[in-house]
Amino acid sequence: MIFARGFTAEVRKGLLNLAAGWRQVLIEMITFPLFYLLIVLFMGRGQLRADLLLPVLLGMVALTFIHEQVNRVFWSYLGDIQSGVLEQTYLTPLPSAALILGRQVAAVISALPTALAVLATGAAAITLQGGYLPFDAQVIVPLAAIALGTCGLALILCGLTLVFKRIEIITQLSVAVYAIAGGTLVPLTALPDPIAFLSRLTVPIAPGIEAMRDILLGGHSLAALPTGWGLGWLLAQPLLITATGVVLFNQLEHLARRRGTLGRY
């Protein structure tokens, strides 16, 4: 009962923060789609080329989601540390797992408006170019893999901020790395093999993007994905990242509690 109340309270708090920051959300729902169109224009040398709109859209939606989700949950932890709220939370009977899970769910929900705005913009641009946005129910699997793996990454970053202060730059650098070398804008098959290997191994959105492109652009099934490391890795990678995130967060959380640094910044 305590877990359920704590979980619900964290989700509610996250959604209230989303509503309170509606102006920021509105700005992001405008700037991220514009950024997507500018990228396509740049890659198409000043033209919204039909052959670029959909491949870049799939990567941009995933990139927008991981940016919003990771940053929202990270800054929620950092804000609670700075205000002393996090330290007080650990003095209550509330299980920390409820706090963590509630924040993750709220961050996932809060990331959706901006990601959906990018998707809607891409769909409109593709339609205006005389094409259509394909859909296949199989993409639900890579989308779920992206969401789960992103939560694992957020756990790692939040655990780090409990112990190592002022690491905000890491979240920004990580998103820049995903944009450049994560297969979001340029397929991993076009990147050097070592970079493609590391991206498929460690970037939460990389296998999902490759799978979505194979399904929607190539017409392949989940069981016969031609690029990447196949369905097995698509399912295993987010589970491994999340498991790593849970273990690291627990270790760093215990370390911060033992040092008494939950309220320091």
- For 227-239, how does the pLDDT look when each residue is reduced to its tens digit (9 = 90+)? 889 899 999 999 9
Taking Cα atoms as reference points, which of 195, 200, 202, 201 lies closest to residue 181?
195
What's the CA gap between 73 and 78, in Å, rounded? 9
Tell me the C-alpha distance between 207 and 170, whole Å: 22
For tokens 């112990």, what's the residue? 163
- The answer to whether residue 123 scores a pLDDT higher than 90 is yes
Mean pLDDT, range 27-36, rounded to an integer: 95
Q: How many CB atoms lie within 10 A of CB 104?
A: 26
Mean pLDDT of the chain: 87
Q: pLDDT (tens digit, 9 = 90+) per residue, 61-88?
A: 999 999 999 888 888 887 777 777 777 7
Q: What is the pLDDT of residue 264?
A: 66
Predicted confidence (pLDDT) at residue 263 exceeds the cutoff of 70: no
- What one-character DSSP code corresponds to residue 264? -
Domain ranges of the chain: 2-259
Region 118-146: mean pLDDT is 93
Distance between CA 30 and CA 18 in Å, rounded?
16
Find out whether 152 and 245 touch, Cβ atoms under 8 Å. yes
pLDDT at 90 exceeding the cut of 90: no
Whole-prediction pTM: 0.90
**Band of the pLDDT at 122, cuts 50, 70, 90?**
very high
Spatial distance between the Cα atoms of 118 and 184, rounded to a whole number of angstroms: 14
Q: What local confidence, expressed as pLDDT, does residue 178 receive?
A: 84
Q: What is the 3-state secondary structure (H, E, C) of 144-157?
A: HHHHHHHHHHHHHH
| pLDDT given at position 3 | 73
Q: Please indicate whether residue 180 or residue 214 has the higher confidence score (pLDDT).
A: 214
Per-residue pLDDT, averaged over 104-132, amounts to 92
* Residue-level pLDDT at 32: 95
Per-residue pLDDT band at 8 (split at 50, 70, 90): confident
Check whether 59 has a pLDDT greater than 90: yes
Amino acid 265: pLDDT: 62
CB 103 within 8 A of CB 18: no
| Average of per-residue pLDDT across 97-101 | 78
The mean pLDDT value for 211-221 works out to: 92
Q: What is the pLDDT of residue 37?
A: 95
